[in-house]
Amino acid sequence: MSYNSLSGLIPHSLSNLTRLRRLSLSKNSFTGKIPSSIGSLLRLEELFLDNNNNLTGSIPRSFNGLVNLNRLELQHNNITGDLPVLYQLRNLFFLDLSDNRITGNFLTSRFSKSIIELSLRNNYLNGEFPLNVGELKFLQVLDLSHNLLSGIIPSVLFYHSSLQQLTLSYNNFTLLQMPEDLRHRNNKLIAIDLSYNNLHGFLPAFMASMPKLSALNLEHNNFSGMIPKQYAVKVVVPRNNTSSFERLLLGGNYLFGPIPGPLLGLKPGSVNISLVDNCLYICPNTLYICHGGNQKSFLDCKKFRPMIP
């Protein structure tokens, strides 16, 4: 029943469909609260209530009774309340609560340890990142962008055995914790986006040693120091059995010094790289990696007083 013009309240009579395995009401115009009676559909495996825009209230506690549910999508609504406790849904693999008005701390204990993809983008989650995220051992995709999270991005994320995509952009993180032992680093991360935070210090050189990492976005933070030569090597001449950087966005920081030599010979379109809005000595618009904006003014760079390694 998705992609129609259905409106009004979601009918409680849906709970009579006791053999139902898939319920999709996406992209309609339903209003009001999600009926708690949906929690009685014990055979339900997939539930899509996304893109209705006007569903309000909190997620019913009765959803913990959906023991066979493996996919739950409620994104693009006006759902409020604290992040729900769904750890009893042991078969839940995919959860998307993005683009709502959900509040509270991001606590991994609220979710089933079977979760594979978790998207909570564009809500009002706050507090610090939990150190026990490793307990979600099957997690492959995590998107917490556009929230109010703060403090440290813990190194445990870079040891996670399954994580492939990590998106923490548009938050208030201030520090990136470096892994102490790179021998046990994550070998599966493909894409990392930490842009639009308040991270400071040197660029994390260890990320260049992640064998499958091909997309790294660190734009619009307060990183300083020089661009690590390891980044340039991973772009131009990656080591055996490792992926090259196909996307490397470092603009909007306080990086200084010369551009690493290997990057100067890149041809337009070969790699998506941006170095604009930094404190680099020479970054002319004739270099495509410097297109899209100027470097910061001398006064801005001096005021920040970037660290010299």
- Domain with residue 60: its CATH number is 3.80.10.10
Same domain for 137 and 23: no
The parent domain of residue 65 ranges over: 1-69
**Quick one: 154 and 218 in the same domain?**
yes
d(CA 236, CA 229): 11
Residues 142 and 58 in one domain: no
**Any domain includes 172:** yes
Q: What is the value of pTM for the model shown?
A: 0.93
Residue 86 lies in a domain: yes
Question: Which of 40, 69, 98 is where one domain is finished?
Answer: 69
The reply to whether 42 and 167 lie within a common domain is: no
Q: Are residues 65 and 84 in the same domain?
A: no
Q: What is the DSSP letter of 232?
A: H
Q: How far apart are CA 105 and CA 264, in angstroms?
A: 44
Answer yes or no: do 156 and 234 share one domain. Answer: yes
d(CA 18, CA 141): 32
From 29, 47, 69, give the residue that closes a domain: 69
Give the chain's length.
309
Write phi, then psi, for 263 (nearest 5 degrees).
Answer: -75, -20
Per-residue pLDDT of the chain (309 residues; tens, 9 = 90+): 555 556 778 888 888 888 999 999 998 888 999 999 999 999 999 999 998 878 999 999 999 999 999 999 999 999 999 998 999 999 999 999 999 999 999 988 899 999 999 999 999 999 999 988 989 999 999 999 999 999 999 999 998 989 999 999 999 999 999 988 766 566 799 999 999 999 999 999 999 989 999 999 999 999 999 999 999 999 987 777 788 999 999 999 999 988 888 888 788 878 899 999 999 888 777 777 887 778 888 888 876 665 544
- Same domain flag for 32 and 150: no
Does a structural domain hold residue 111? yes
| 91 in a structural domain | yes
12 and 65 fall within a common domain: yes
Q: What is the Cα Rg of the chain in Å?
A: 22
Q: Residue 159: inside a domain, yes or no?
A: yes
Same domain, 113 and 172: yes
Copy the structure tokens of residue 156: 């445990």
Q: Is residue 248 part of a domain?
A: yes
Beta-carbon contacts of residue 297 (< 8 Å; ≥ 6 apart)? none
**Could you tell me if 18 and 79 lie in one domain?**
no
